[in-house]
Amino acid sequence: MAQDITAQELKIKLDNREDFILIDVREIFEHTEFNIGGELAPLQTSFPYKIETLKGSEDKEIVVYCRSGNRSGVAKAMLQNAGFSNVRNLIGGMIHWRTEFNS
């Protein structure tokens, strides 16, 4: 089971252009206001469909994020229940990211 990820760890992965799937489970207006490049799949609407599109990538690293880490925690559990083994939640979400990097 993958450990959750800190803002610092995620920034390094993004800066190094590592190969992983990044998913933003916030609402459209939140994503439009500020995002770090994750694919938008709001938890309450399109995320269940997103899980279906990820079939075949069960072993690939997936990082999910939201505003605070709560919704992405639910998303992580949903992915794990669907058989994905390498799912990481951004600790503290975009709140922590923006505090850390003054974005």
What is the DSSP code string of 29-84? HHHHH---SPEE--TTTTHHHHHHHTTT-TTS-EEEE-SSSHHHHHHHHHHHHTT-
| Among 21, 20, 22, 24, residue whose Cα is nearest residue 35 | 24
66 in active site = yes
Identify residue 2 by its one-letter amino acid code: A
Out of 23, 66, 90, 91, the active site residue is 66
Q: Which residues are catalytic?
A: 66
